[in-house]
Amino acid sequence: MESIEAVLKDYWGFDSYLPLQKEAMACVCAGRDSVVVLPTGGGKSLCFQAPAMLLSGMTLVVSPLLSLMKDQVDSLLEIGIPAARLDSTMSAQEKAETYDRLRRHELKLLYASPERVLMEGFLDFLKSAGVSSVAVDEAHCVSMWGHDFRPEYRQLRILKEKLPGVPVGAYTATATDNVRRDIRDQLGLASPEVFVGRFDRPNLLYRVRRRVEALKQVTEVLDRHRGESGIIYCIRRADVDEMNQALAGRGYRVVPYHAGMDDSSRRRSQEAFAEDDADVIVATVAFGMGIDKSNVRFVIHAGMPKSLEHYQQESGRAGRDGLEAECFLFYAGGDYLIWKRILEESDPQMYDIACTKLNQMYRYCSGVACRHKALVNYFGQELDHECCRACDICLGDVAGVDDALVVAQKILSSVVRQGERFGADYTAGVLIGSREERILANRHDQLSTYGLLAQATRSSVRDWIEQLAEQECIVRVGEYGVLKLTDKGRRVLKGNESPLLLEPVKKKAVPKPAVVRDSWEGVDEGLFENLREVRRRLARSKSLPAYIVFGDAALRDMARKRPTTRAAFLRVSGVGEKKLQQYGEEMLNAIRSYCHANSLDTDLPA
């Protein structure tokens, strides 16, 4: 492990391990199979990349997305590690050169798609080239219980057959206990070590709102993050095009991404986002699993994801550098019905599983529990503390409704008086006294509950209905989500139980979350911005994404320690020998000049 630590420092500039990295790396070096589940940003890739530098042969990395392969290979090459990829975007000459390097045993890591790995004769060729370990990335794709099942992944069991004695590690960010067992069985792993990290991402600030005016709600978030990188997820391709066009028309630097675009257009959008020519990418779920950009400061879901696994994976694209990031989810009841229709048209064998996951996602959106707690509970873990101080519930963005029992009884009474034959939006209309035609036609303006909540907005009443559903006071039935009372709901109606109802806080100053304060402690923000500009210039000179040159975490550490010597620069987290050789003088000159001009102390201790 001393050799591993030297590799981490020399190449990546890290002095310590993240949780479970040491154990996972030791497993690879000892030649044992493993299943490694670490959250996005938890350093999964290092678990197989660092050992690859010490093993005698080459590490094969099976990866499902071309963008992920390219990003990771570019990052490895940038720090001096011999790595390559084989994919369909490469020219015949580029592929031939990679095969030649394999024959000459020049590579330490080779990235390839599962389809290429399964090609006739490919593994036989690799065996002769000397494979010392295999890493199956995004391994949840193996499982039907996973959120991104891919049938070709089921065939990867051939790795154990064609490469006997070679350890296989399966790596993913999101896997329930069912999925972990399925990964082990489907890949044929031999008594694998299983490492499961904490699913909580304390640096992420989760906020959930009912979608009322989508464009206005999205732009409010964008305006708080001017000049920073972010992702906006939409459910459908048409939603992406509409949102992208509206934002571009308002002057935001945005690009679109979805499967309906041709390959070259998608590639241009991804490159613009990776290289900071665009601040924001507006995308469907076709984008995300392969992005390796570390400095994404916010993720917006303009529609509800179809599962908590998808939400964890997609929101987890933010803050991969460990710094604070904001995750906003705007949802509406219609999102649920859109996904139901999409699921009905997909694989019928997966329909029941998918619907179960969709219901869990909807309960999260309308829930009243700490967001961090709800997510880790879903993955079978407990939060170490009651208040996360990093979500809308715990930060006090929402507050309890006065006389919650009375409000709940009014809602439940209306559901009963409507004959339990109508959905949430209709019920909200009755309660606020709407004069819309369908309510008048049904003579529901004559009900005793009509207008009982006229002082509230329709969206507030809808939220309360969702919260009552989350607390199992009412259930939705059938295709149209008709509301019906449960036994618990009838107890509430009689006053024998009291639910919790929340509403948005109005005109209340919300304190800055601790995770934001901590990550900026001691950082000179002016120097940080100055270093961002230097990084941008260096990246452009090499046609690289800025985050590959240095991550935001490294820049903040520079702006905190203000090193002026090469030895001090090496003490910055994320700076190794290769980075020092390539960029040290320019970064040090920038730090010296800024500190001199602003009379700042330099070479501060960690």
Work out the average pLDDT over 85-107: 92
Work out the average pLDDT over 13-20: 90
Is residue 448 domain-resident? yes
Same domain, 99 and 160: yes
Work out the average pLDDT over 111-122: 92
Same domain, 404 and 389: no
Last residue of a domain, one of 178, 196, 214: 196
Per-residue pLDDT of 391-438, as tens digits, reads 998 888 877 788 899 999 999 999 999 999 999 999 999 999 999 999
Choice among 30-34, 283-287, 446-450, 564-568 with the minimum mean pLDDT: 283-287
Q: Which residues contact 290 (CB under 8 A, 6 or more apart)?
A: 63, 64, 65, 66, 67, 68, 69, 71
Cα distance between residue 390 and residue 326, in whole Å: 9
Q: What is the pLDDT of residue 394?
A: 87
Strands 34-37 and 168-172: parallel
Q: Is the pLDDT of residue 2 over 60?
A: yes
Q: Is the pLDDT of residue 516 over 70?
A: no
Handedness of CA 298, 46, 108, 79 (dihedral sign): positive
Q: What is the pLDDT of residue 144?
A: 67
Q: What is the pLDDT of residue 22?
A: 95
Inter-CA distances, 387 with 178, 240, 373, 390, 516, Å: 29, 35, 9, 8, 16
Cα distance between residue 391 and residue 513, in whole Å: 9
Task: Choose the most confident range, by mean pLDDT, from 8-12, 87-91, 286-290, 392-396.
Answer: 8-12
In the chain, what percentage of residues exceed pLDDT 70? 95
Cα distance between residue 258 and residue 256, in whole Å: 7
Confidence bin at 544 (pLDDT 50/70/90): confident
Same domain, 211 and 181: no
Q: Is the pLDDT of residue 210 over 90?
A: no
Residue whose C-alpha is closest to residue 319's, from 294, 292, 287, 290:
294
Same domain, 13 and 74: yes
Is residue 276 domain-resident? yes
Per-residue pLDDT of 228-240, as tens digits, reads 999 999 999 999 9
Question: What DSSP element (H or E) covers 215?
Answer: helix 214-224
Confidence bin at 508 (pLDDT 50/70/90): very low
Confidence bin at 509 (pLDDT 50/70/90): very low
By the 8 A CB rule, do 513 and 205 touch?
yes
Per-residue pLDDT of 321-335, as tens digits, reads 888 999 999 998 789
Confidence bin at 20 (pLDDT 50/70/90): very high
Coil, strand or helix: which one is 111?
A: strand
Same domain, 409 and 454: yes
Same domain, 154 and 118: yes
Residue whose C-alpha is closest to residue 162's, from 187, 192, 191:
187
Last residue of a domain, one of 167, 196, 225: 196
How many of the other CB atoms lie within 10 Å of CB of 110? 24
Same domain, 143 and 254: no
Written as six digits, the tokens of 151 are 């049938």
By the 8 A CB rule, do 311 and 372 touch?
no
**Letter for the amino acid at 307?**
S
Cα distance between residue 174 and residue 182, in whole Å: 13
Q: Is the pLDDT of residue 463 over 60?
A: yes
Confidence bin at 505 (pLDDT 50/70/90): low
Is residue 602 domain-resident? no
Extract long-range pairs of 531-534: CB within 8 Å, 24+ residues apart.
531/555, 531/558, 531/559, 531/587, 531/590, 531/591, 534/586, 534/587, 534/590
Last residue of a domain, one of 504, 537, 554: 504
Is residue 93 domain-resident? yes
Compute, in degrees rounded to 10, the torsion defined by CA atoms 44, 49, 50, 55: 130
Q: Is the pLDDT of residue 356 over 70?
A: yes
Higher-pLDDT residue of 176, 376: 376
CATH code: domain of residue 358? 3.40.50.300
Confidence bin at 385 (pLDDT 50/70/90): confident
Is residue 370 domain-resident? yes
Q: What is the pLDDT of residue 69?
A: 86
How many of the other CB atoms lie within 10 Å of CB of 575? 24
Same domain, 214 and 254: yes
Distance of CA 510 to the CA centre of its chain: 25
Q: What is the pLDDT of residue 507?
A: 45
Q: Is the pLDDT of residue 256 over 60?
A: yes
Q: Is the pLDDT of residue 490 over 60?
A: yes
Compute, in degrees rounded to 10, the torsion defined by CA atoms 152, 157, 163, 168: 100
Cα distance between residue 76 and residue 521, in whole Å: 30
Work out the average pLDDT over 326-346: 88
Q: Tally the residues of the chain.
A: 606
Q: What is the pLDDT of residue 67?
A: 72
Q: Mutual orientation of helices 351-366 and 333-344 as an angle, nearest 10°?
A: 170
Same domain, 98 and 182: yes
Q: Is the pLDDT of residue 164 over 70?
A: yes
Is residue 517 domain-resident? no
Work out the average pLDDT over 160-179: 90
pTM (2 d.p.): 0.73
CATH code: domain of residue 565? 1.10.150.80
Cα distance between residue 354 and residue 339, in whole Å: 10
Q: Is the pLDDT of residue 288 over 80?
A: no
Output the furthest CA–CA distance in the chain (Å, rounded). Answer: 85
Number of independent structural domains in the chain:
4
Written as six digits, the tokens of 121 are 């004769």
Residue whose C-alpha is closest to residue 294's, from 275, 317, 277:
317
Query: What's the domain range around 578?
Result: 522-597
Same domain, 437 and 494: yes
Q: What is the pLDDT of residue 174?
A: 79
Q: Is the pLDDT of residue 25 over 50?
A: yes
Q: Is the pLDDT of residue 289 over 60?
A: no
Cα distance between residue 256 and residue 282, in whole Å: 5
- The alpha-carbon radius of gyration of the chain (Å, integer) is 26
Report phi then psi at 219, rounded to 5.
Answer: -65, -30
Confidence bin at 349 (pLDDT 50/70/90): confident
Same domain, 456 and 469: yes
The mean of the pLDDT values for the chain is 89
Residue whose C-alpha is closest to residue 371's, from 358, 390, 356:
390
Mark 148-171 as b/e (b = at least 16 C-beta within 10 Å).
Answer: bbbeebbebbebbeebeebbbbbb
Confidence bin at 291 (pLDDT 50/70/90): low
CATH code: domain of residue 467? 1.10.10.10
Is residue 32 domain-resident? yes
Is residue 286 domain-resident? yes
Query: Residue 605 class from Cβ within 10 Å (0-12 exposed, 13-18 middle, 19+ buried)?
Result: exposed
Q: What is the pLDDT of residue 226?
A: 92
Same domain, 96 and 120: yes
Work out the average pLDDT over 182-205: 92
Q: Is the pLDDT of residue 451 over 60?
A: yes
